[in-house]
Structure 1
Amino acid sequence: MQSTLKMPFSNVQQELLQLYAHHVSDNDLNNIKELLGNYFANRLSKLADQAWQNNNWTNEDMENILNDPAQ
């Protein structure tokens, strides 16, 4: 049975497919995964810092957000 793609690949997926068309070692693959993880973690951290500043949150505000049972 043939499967068809319902949506095209994103630009990130296309770049990664081009990269993975070449064999990389397991060590290189792990390093690439770590780089991608660090990139997105740093990006998220910057967005969180920006939200913190935009909302003028205090440490008490953050504790209330973290301890809110509705969250």
Structure 2
Amino acid sequence: MIQQAFSLNQAQLQLLDMMSFIKTSEALRDLNKVISDYFVKKADEEMTKMWNEGTLNEEKIESFRNIHERTAYKKPVL
């Protein structure tokens, strides 16, 4: 087995530190909601920016209806 060395960035370390305060499943759900809301807000801000710049428009959104971008499945070689 190959072991990989990695390091955590400051945000990851801070989140891990805050995990020590999570004592109940309700607290974990609350934290998940806050984090999810944050990323929804960031995505919404980016979409608004793209719309205002003209990068995103009705035509582009409509083109998503027929897009099929999947990674081809490859059987693992044993």
Shorter-chain TM-score above 0.5: yes
Amino acid at match of 1:43: K
Q: 2:33 is matched with which residue?
A: 34
Aligned partners of 1:47, 1:9: CA distance in 2, in Å?
Answer: 26
Aligned partners of 1:58, 1:16: CA distance in 2, in Å?
Answer: 36
Query: Which structure 1 residue ranges, 4+ long, deviate > 6 Å from structure 2?
Result: none
Could you list the runs of 5+ residues in structure 1 that have no partner in the other structure? none
Could you list the runs of 5+ residues in structure 2 that have no partner in the other structure? 70-78
How many residues in Structure 1 have an aligned counterpart in Structure 2? 69
Distance 1:9 1:70, change over 3 A: same
1:22-63 deviations in whole A, cap 9, x for unaligned? 342110110000100010011011101101111264424421
Q: TM-score normalised to the size of structure 1?
A: 0.72
Q: 1:48 is matched with which residue?
A: 47
Aligned partners of 2:58, 2:41: CA distance in 1, in Å?
Answer: 21
Q: TM-score normalised to the size of structure 2?
A: 0.67
Identity among equivalent pairs (%)? 13
Q: 1:69 is matched with which residue?
A: 67
